[in-house]
Chains A and B, each alone.
Chain A
């Protein structure tokens, strides 16, 4: 556990009478690609929201690089090096694609001409260069996913949390995100991925945590988990 970048320890979250997350624990090591899977309502996004500080945990603790980040403000958590994307892309819609990247680059002190140069280079790499002067609102849902992915990636995070990054994306955009996620991992960035895309997930994740009704059903290597009768039952029913 010494090398754990992220350690989630018995976190719980309830909304009224509904327990959305119940005593969930897992950890991710440096450069690991960890998947969070489970049916709808399993609590995956709620866990992301607690790690990134958007929701307060009812109990339990979250450690990042050994520091307790439980219930800290999202701004503070982002500055510690945790970046995330959202299932419904949260791009800055009345700003151009270039501005979307430039504003993120401010967090790593890249400004002015260098920011413009890097923003153009990044957009070129993901095939959005031709649209750099368009507003983000003019992009398709898949393109906006890609944009928020690269916007989070340019902040040089140590932990990248991707919430359904492949949902609604074209095969080309998925390939691009898969390649870049793997590259991030190789450079030492820990990646947490929520995905329903059973085809793309094995290309990204080595290990998965399976959630059901807010609790951890099982965790382990993807190929082992796939054969687990409990997982098959949770996904397909008896």
Chain B
């Protein structure tokens, strides 16, 4: 009971921090950094939801994002559909892609799932590049801003308002994922992650649970992708934007943060995005320092920064408890 009170207190403090700092600072640069942190945090948490809770290696997360972003943008561009609705439409499109990917891949294991999702993502990117008449391909697709709501402008000239949209999206996704992993379904996810055959002979339909996990994650990746399109304003289906490089960044944050925790991704995102900004002052050495930091974290905390925090909390608890 005490532990859960501490957890809720910690969660509330983090929420307060994330909600207050950009508003108090009222600085466009800082807001942009916080947007990057939240974007990478929630994508890494979704990646962790699949990998850390069910060992599903989705190496095509960038392509899934692209589908969400383009669905929303194309609906607005060609049919004048509100980008607010586009957020949900982007999610629905990737949900369908996730369902399809799940049906064809989830009987496979390990690297084969990763490769199949990667090929699907590449297929999406190739399709977006080559359907130039419809998507404008490499010329880039202009994305409409989110329309005003309740008298508040959500145009790209008001980054603070966009930050709060992302903040709400992140809270909704995080709370949903947290509820799922702490429910009966989450218990089965963990059992399947630990021993697929063991879960199977207990009577759990492994493929069905994997499909559920994958489609939930795919839907939210699409929503985040749709927001991302609105935030950057122009979409180009390049590998740098939506390919393996993007997946690797997300994967790195998930691992540095700590697999199987969800909240560890926030630590990972702050550490990696924050350090990129800090190291920018040392110019060409920044990538060397950045790499050294990644190696250091994974050597010292094999379970990521979240694992390090848990170790620290356990040590403090031992010090505080009276000795018998």
Contact = CB atoms under 8 A, between A and B. Distances in A.
Interface of A: 52, 54, 73-75, 77-79, 83-84, 86, 90-95, 99, 102-104, 106-107, 111, 148, 151-152, 155
B187 interface: yes
Contact of A99 (B187, B198, B202, B206): B187
Given A148-B198, A152-B202, 7 more contacts: A54-B197, A74-B201, A75-B206, A84-B201, A92-B190, A99-B187, A106-B184
A100 to B, nearest CB: 8
Given A103-B187, A106-B184, A106-B188, A92 B203 contact: no
B267 to A, nearest CB: 20
Contacts of A107: 202-204
Contacts, number: 66
A170 B200 CA distance: 28
B191 interface: yes
Q: How large is the interface on B (under 10, 10 to 19, 20 to 34, 35 or more residues)?
A: 10 to 19
Interface of B, secondary structure class, is helix
Contacts of B195: 90-93
Nearest to A152: B202
A144 B200 CA distance: 18
A54 B201 CA distance: 9
B210 interface: no
B12 interface: no
Contact of B203 (A75, A102, A111, A148): A75
A152 to B, nearest CB: 8
A94 B198 contact: no
Contact of A155 (B191, B197, B203): B203
Which 9 interchain pairs have the tightest Cβ spacing?
A: A78-B203, A90-B198, A92-B194, A74-B200, A79-B203, A103-B191, A92-B191, A107-B203, A103-B187
Nearest to A136: B194
B171 to A, nearest CB: 26
Nearest to B198: A90
B246 interface: no
B197 A111 contact: no
Contact of A106 (B187, B193, B206): B187
Given A90-B197, A91-B195, A95-B194, A78 B202 contact: yes
A95 B181 CA distance: 13
Contacts of B191: 92, 95, 103
B27 interface: no
A114 to B, nearest CB: 12
Contacts of A95: 187, 190-191, 194
B26 interface: no
A146 to B, nearest CB: 15
A111 B194 contact: no
Contact of A93 (B184, B194, B201, B202): B194
A54 B196 CA distance: 12
Contacts of B201: 52, 54, 74, 77-78, 83-84
Contacts of A91: 194-195, 198
A175 B188 CA distance: 31
Contacts of B206: 75
